[in-house]
C-alpha cells in the first residue's frame, strides 16, 4: 500500500525505500524466463543480468568483479564470513577464535559458525569506538583470529577506524571481516585501504530489494567455507538458484549508492539541522557518538524523561516513522546493547531515538520532524523543554 503524501520516513538504517530504477529493473527481469545455469539463450540472458549486477556491486566497494557473491542479505553474508574454516591459496586454513566488537549487529554478535568458547568481545569507548589498545593485546594473546567489526554502527552511525584495525589484524596474521551493511551509499568503501578480507552488504539498506545482499572478498584466493552447499552457483561459493530479479535490483541500487557516497554534505546538513533543533528544545539532550566520526545520515539521541517507546507511538500518530536506539525481532523496544557498551545509563538508553536519512530525504522531512518534536516533548515530559544541559 503506498504511503500518504504527508508521511515522513526517517528510518533508512532499518530499511531504505526501494529506488524507482531498481523497481523498474526488477519488474523487467520478472518477465524473463530461464535459469542462469542453463546454456540456452534464456539462461544466458539471466546469466548476463547477474554478471552485470556483480560488476555494479564490485564498483560500489572497489572490489574485483569475481569477488562478489550474491546471498539472501546481510545476516547470511555475516554468517558465511564468520567461520573458523577458510580457504587460503586453495588450502584449508583454520582460525582459532573470533574477536568481535561489543556494538556489533546481532547477526555478528551471535558469532556465526564459531562456537561460544571461541568468541571474544572487543570493548568500545564512550563514543562507541573500538579500543585499539585492547584489540592489540587480544591479537597477541592467542592463535590466528578472525576480527569482525562493523564499518559504521546501525544505531549511532559511529564510523570505525577500519584502516587502523585492518593493519593491526594483518600484522598479527589474522583475517578481517567488515560488516559494511550501513556503510553502502553513506561512506566510501575501500577494501584494500581497510585490508579487509571480506565485507557484508545488504541491498535494502541502500535502496535495493529486501532479502538480498552480497559477501565480497578482497581476494578470491582467500575465501570462507561456503554456508550453502549443493550446487556450483556463485562460483561454488553459495549454492542455490540465483534470484535474478533481486540481484538485478541490487545492481541498480549499488550503482546509484556509489555516486551518493561521494556527496555526504546534503545529508550532513539535514542531520545537523535536526540535531540543532532537537537541542534548542531540549538542551540536556544526549547525542550518542557526537565526538566520534559518524555517518552523515544518522542521529541517535535521548532527551531526559522521554521514553523511546512512548515517543515512537507519538511520532507514528503524526505520520513520522523513526526508530529507537534498538529494536528486537518482535518489534518491541529493548535496552540497546550498543548504548550499554558505550557506558550509557539504562534510564538514558531507554530514551534513545534514532533518525536515519537516505536517498529520498528532504528539507521538508526535517521541517516536519522539528514541527512535531516540541509537541512530543510537551506531551511526554514538558519539564525537559529548555532544561539546562
> Which residues are the active-site residues?
328
Q: Tell me how far apart the alpha carbons of residues 185 and 257 are, in angstroms, rounded to a whole number.
A: 4
Q: What is the DSSP string of 38-72?
A: --SHHHHHHHHHHHHHHHHHHHHTT--GGGEEEES
Three-state secondary-structure class, residue 323: strand
User: What are the CA-CA distances from residue 368 to residues 22, 176, 275 (Å)?
Assistant: 28, 42, 14
Backbone dihedral region of 190: left (phi > 0), alpha (psi from -120 to 50 degrees) or beta? beta
Q: Tell me how far apart the alpha carbons of residues 187 and 193 are, in angstroms, rounded to a whole number.
A: 13
Burial category of 279 from C-beta neighbours within 10 Å (exposed 0-12, middle 13-18, buried 19 and up): middle
User: What are the CA-CA distances from residue 4 to residues 9, 90, 361 (Å)?
Assistant: 11, 54, 15
Q: Which residue has the cell 542453463?
A: 38
Q: Which residue has the cell 572478498?
A: 217
Per-residue cell: 307: 521514553
The number of helix segments (H) and strand segments (E) in the chain equals 13, 16
How many residues does the structure list for the chain?
389
E strand or H helix at 266:
helix 265-281
Amino acid at each position: 500500500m503506498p504511503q500518504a503524501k504527508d508521511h515522513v520516513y526517517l528510518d533508512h538504517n532499518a530499511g531504505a525505500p526501494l529506488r524507482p530504477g531498481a523497481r523498474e529493473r526488477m519488474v523487467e527481469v520478472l518477465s524473463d524466463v530461464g535459469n542462469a545455469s542453463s546454456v540456452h539463450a534464456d539462461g544466458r540472458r539471466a546469466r548476463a543480468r547477474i554478471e552485470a549486477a556483480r560488476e555494479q556491486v564490485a564498483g560500489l566497494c572497489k572490489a574485483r568483479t569475481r569477488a562478489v557473491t550474491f546471498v539472501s542479505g546481510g545476516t547470511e553474508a555475516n554468517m558465511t564470513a564468520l567461520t573458523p574454516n577458510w580457504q587460503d591459496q586453495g588450502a584449508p586454513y583454520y582460525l582459532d577464535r573470533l574477536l568481535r566488537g561489543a556494538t556489533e549487529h546481532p547477526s555478528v554478535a551471535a558469532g556465526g559458525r564459531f562456537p561460544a568458547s571461541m568468541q571474544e568481545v572487543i570493548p568500545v569507548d564512550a563514543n562507541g569506538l573500538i579500543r585499539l589498545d585492547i584489540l592489540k593485546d587480544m591479537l597477541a594473546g592467542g592463535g590466528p583470529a578472525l576480527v569482525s567489526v562493523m564499518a559504521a554502527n546501525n544505531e549511532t552511525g559511529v564510523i570505525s577506524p577500519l584502516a587502523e584495525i585492518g593493519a593491526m589484524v594483518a600484522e598479527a596474521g589474522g583475517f578481517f571481516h567488515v560488516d559494511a551493511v550501513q556503510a553502502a551509499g553513506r561512506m566510501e568503501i575501500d577494501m584494500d585501504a581497510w585490508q579487509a578480507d571480506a565485507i557484508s552488504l545488504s541491498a535494502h539498506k541502500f535502496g535495493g530489494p529486501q532479502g538480498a545482499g552480497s559477501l565480497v572478498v578482497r581476494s578470491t584466493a582467500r575465501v570462507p567455507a561456503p554456508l550453502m552447499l549443493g550446487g556450483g552457483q556463485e562460483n561454488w561459493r553459495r549454492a542455490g538458484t540465483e534470484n535474478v530479479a533481486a540481484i538485478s535490483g541490487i545492481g541498480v541500487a549499488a550503482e546509484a549508492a556509489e555516486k551518493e557516497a561521494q556527496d555526504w554534505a546534503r545529508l550532513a546538513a539535514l542531520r545537523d539541522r535536526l540535531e540543532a533543533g532537537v537541542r534548542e528544545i531540549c538542551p540536556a539532550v544526549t547525542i550518542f557518538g557526537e565526538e566520534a566520526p559518524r555517518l552523515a545520515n544518522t542521529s541517535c539521541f535521548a532527551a531526559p524523561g522521554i521514553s523511546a517507546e512512548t515517543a515512537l507511538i507519538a511520532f507514528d500518530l503524526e505520520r513520522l516513522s523513526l526508530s529507537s536506539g534498538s529494536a528486537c525481532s518482535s518489534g518491541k523496544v529493548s535496552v540497546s546493547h550498543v548504548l550499554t557498551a558505550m557506558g550509557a545509563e539504562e534510564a538514558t538508553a531507554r530514551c534513545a531515538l534514532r533518525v536515519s536519512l537516505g536517498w529520498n530525504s528532504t528539507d521538508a522531512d526535517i521541517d516536519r520532524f522539528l514541527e512535531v518534536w516540541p509537541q512530543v516533548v510537551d506531551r511526554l515530559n514538558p519539564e525537559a523543554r529548555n532544561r539546562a544541559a
